Structure 1
């Protein structure tokens, strides 16, 4: 299902969805490599036009781009509804970014403090994502943006990407813990 929408049509669709739920969040276009995201510092939704079109084609169950855009938009607005919690996490987020920059790449999987921080970051990301999806579900149920099954399909697919990354790092972390426990028991 290759559906062509122009850049201006995509922007218009996202902006109309924002207006449909009576929220006042700016939209910005940027090539980020991420289909759509919410910048909680600037209180704006950012869309990568090329990436969002490609991401729609990667869904396990095809759907019209218009529908996908509507679901993603209300999801990002779900983050906007949780903006204060995101702002409250900023201090720890900065600490994690600094620690990641300082950690030597080859030592990361064997550095317990680093891996503990990575797991913490994944858990926080998943919690924020789940909250945004819960908020988006409220918006969708109230404003009837898309049908419930379509919403659920995009939600499950989106959350699975976060959980897959978490599970991969958790496997490394748990292996590291087992190795440490084995060494201590010798």
Structure 2
């Protein structure tokens, strides 16, 4: 599921939802998954102003990706630094959306808390793992640059 903050709607990809449910370590029903991630996407909608405020920065990341092939993005420390900045921005938006979803769930009691936490952890792990992987590569590139200078 995803929230399009520009056009202000929530969308979904049925195939991706099915894959995500299968990726769970413990089985989760489709109902629980849809409810938890709908709350999460509503959490993004609650944060829409901040998302809209990030549009200029988001556009800069988009332009960089459009103008530089993937291999260049991952071999140039300056370009990779931009990807890392984007990861950090996205992680903040994800944390905020989950916090908003948690408040909604507290107010309305829609999703079992154990399941909610499992889905939250799965959702956050996607962003955190990509960030960690890119940060490790960035640190490696910087170390290689330092060795070449010395």
SS of alignment partner, residue 171 of structure 1: helix
Please say if 1:45 is aligned against 2:26: no
Shift of the alpha carbon at 1:139?
0.4
Tell me the equivalent position of 1:10.
none
Which sections of structure 1, spanning at least 5 residues, go unmatched? Answer: 1-35
Tell me the equivalent position of 2:34.
69
Cα distance in 2, alignment partners of residues 119 and 125 from structure 1: 10
Cα distance in 2, alignment partners of residues 54 and 168 from structure 1: 22
SS of alignment partner, residue 2 of structure 2: strand
1:1-57, CA deviations, whole angstroms, 9 ceiling, x for partnerless residues? xxxxxxxxxxxxxxxxxxxxxxxxxxxxxxxxxxx0000011100011222123212
Cα distance in 1, alignment partners of residues 24 and 48 from structure 2: 28
Shift of the alpha carbon at 1:153?
0.4
SS of alignment partner, residue 111 of structure 2: coil
| More helix as a share of residues | 2
Cα distance in 1, alignment partners of residues 42 and 118 from structure 2: 18
Q: Residue 167 of structure 1: which of 99, 117, 132 is its match?
A: 132
1:121-164, CA deviations, whole angstroms, 9 ceiling, x for partnerless residues? 11111110011001000000111011111100000011111111
Aligned pairs, number: 150
* Greater gyration radius: 1
**Cα RMSD over matched residues?**
1.1
Matched ranges for 1:1-186 at <5 A: 36-184=1-149, 186=150
Cα distance in 1, alignment partners of residues 12 and 72 from structure 2: 34
Shift of the alpha carbon at 1:113?
1.4
SS of alignment partner, residue 38 of structure 1: strand
Which sections of structure 2, spanning at least 5 residues, go unmatched? Answer: none
